[in-house]
Amino acid sequence: MARISTRDEVLRVAAERFSHFGYKGTSLQDIAAGVGCSKATLLYHFASKDAILAELVAPAARELGELVAQLAALDAAAAQAAAIDGFVELVLRHRREAALIYGGIPQFLQEPAFADLLPHTDALCAAFAGGTDDPAACIAAEVVLSGIVTVVIDEEKDPTELRTALVGVARRALIHPHPKD
């Protein structure tokens, strides 16, 4: 059996603690105690709690950037559909990370390690809104984005059922046929 590195164990314990107690509700000492190491050992591997969080969310943040880049090449309607499908897939692959990113985004976006998330989140929200700057469409997009993350956090829910339901709900909420005047 392969031995788990202290660094990997710190990330595992931090993810677990952050998801149960929140980022603010988890201290470096809590993480160190969960790993069974000293706080000094933890700080040898990670410079700060922010550095641990940045490492945890890096794969999801990278995929979000890739999704946003793909959306930029599409027209508004195609981008909206692709944003819904792509974001649901992303959060299903990265449930905890998505909850960390979107659950604490106002606080995290102020940190340099998360500076790339704000433009990606804004672009994703614009795609969800169908490329319009209509305030109601933008608010609906924000509500749907937040709702997807909130529902997906529950790891007990079946991913196949979630995917189908979330995509369906998002499309009904965001994609409206526009009657011709």
pLDDT tens-digit series, residues 121-175: 889 999 999 999 899 999 999 999 989 988 887 778 888 999 999 999 999 999 8
Tokens of 51: 């550095």
pLDDT at 28 over 50: yes
Please give the residue that has the higher pLDDT: either 61 or 69: 69
Spatial distance between the Cα atoms of 171 and 176, rounded to a whole number of angstroms = 8
pLDDT at 180 over 60: no
- pTM of structure: 0.82
Q: Do 159 and 92 meet the contact criterion of CB atoms below 8 Å apart? A: yes
pLDDT tens, residue by residue, 64-119: 999 999 999 999 999 999 999 999 999 999 888 877 776 655 566 666 767 778 88
Tokens of 95: 């449930």
CB-based contacts of 148-151 (< 8 A; 24+ apart in sequence): 148/87, 148/88, 148/91, 149/91, 149/98, 149/99, 149/102, 149/103
Per-residue DSSP letter, 27 = -
| pLDDT for position 107 | 63
Query: What class, spelled out in words, does domain 6-45 have in CATH?
Result: mainly alpha
Residue 7 pLDDT grade (very low, low, confident, very high; cuts 50, 70, 90): very high
* Residue with token string 């979107």: 102
Domain map (residue ranges) of the chain: 6-45, 57-174
| pLDDT for position 74 | 96
Spatial distance between the Cα atoms of 111 and 52, rounded to a whole number of angstroms = 13
